[in-house]
A = this chain, B = another copy of it.
Amino acid sequence: MTAAAGVDQASGRASEFDRGTAVAPRRDQPSVYDAELDGGWRIGGGINGGLLLAVVGSALKQELGAVDGHADPFSLSAYYLSAGRPGPAEIRTEAVRRGRTVSTGAATLLQSGEDGRLVERLRVLASYGDLDAAKGEVRTTATPPVMPPPEECISTEHAPPDFLANAALLERLDLRLDPACVGWALGEPSGEGRIQGWLRLADGREPDPLMLLLAVDALPPVTFDLGLYGWTPTLELTAHVRARPVPGWLRVTHATRNLAGGFLEEDAEVWDASGRLVAQSRQLAVVPRGA
């Protein structure tokens, strides 16, 4: 079913996201995978950090899922080392510990640098398991964000052209921002440090656990809502996938409470169409210059 969800039913072609996160095991090197980073996932100066995380997540899914059926990401922690570029990438994985309900993995994604030497893009630790086996009661005080329906929200096609020029990623997404959080697009940021909206993939590919790794880092940086419009490099991002999402729109919120000493934390929460909290993430990012 997951495979079918990744194929355009009309054309029979794999979705952009599935092609973008596809990895092939290398024949002569166990636990090493090859991928191709597509320029269509660029944002600002490099490949989107959420997409990079999903590519590594895809390799770990093969490495950890093959033996124990632990094919769903429960938690990934990524330390970003340099900007990903369009082109080939290799992912080296390691099964650190295979447990009964959870397996732990490590991975690194590398690309050839300008001098031909391999350069690390991100280093990852992760826990994988089977989300369908993770039953149990739900006691949550977390509630989905309140916002107008997608058709009353702001599509990114209305964003300023100079913003769109360096945001190829946005063409792959159908992102509808809550009008209450887009004052920054008009030069009037709220100062609250909150951005939220509806999200789905533009080609209709339904969400799954791997796609949630993209979703937690797909919205404009929350610093826009603080009036800081520069680039916000991620130092560290940890994502927890809390449930398998049902098909349909996702609701995503980004918020920060503490911008200090040149860094800020950015918390993301993702709800599925049934109103369930399916992913939580936090990243530590660098405050744009001029702040």
A residues engaging B (CB < 8 A)? 74-75, 77, 79, 81-82, 96-97, 102, 104, 106, 120, 123-127, 131, 134-142, 192-193, 226, 235-236, 238, 240, 242-243, 257-263, 265, 276-277, 280, 282, 284, 287, 291
The 7 closest A-B pairs by CB, nearest first: A77-B77, A134-B261, A142-B257, A136-B262, A138-B260, A140-B258, A139-B259
List B contacts of A135 (CB < 8 A): 261-262
Given A236-B75, A236-B127, answer yes or no on A261-B141 (Cβ-Cβ < 8 Å): no
Contact between chains at A235 and B81 (CB < 8 Å): no
List B contacts of A138 (CB < 8 A): 259-261
Contact between chains at A265 and B280 (CB < 8 Å): yes
Q: What's the minimum C-beta distance from A274 to chain B, rounded to whole angstroms?
A: 13
Interface of chain A: mostly helix, strand, loop or mixed: strand
Q: What's the minimum C-beta distance from A190 to chain B, rounded to whole angstroms?
A: 12
Of the residues B82, B127, B134, B263, contact of A134 by C-beta under 8 Å: B263
Contact between chains at A242 and B257 (CB < 8 Å): no
Of the residues B240, B263, B280, contact of A74 by C-beta under 8 Å: B263
Residue picked from A97, A125, A276, most chain B C-beta under 10 Å: A125
Q: What's the minimum C-beta distance from A264 to chain B, rounded to whole angstroms?
A: 9
Given A284-B240, A291-B137, answer yes or no on A74-B260 (Cβ-Cβ < 8 Å): no
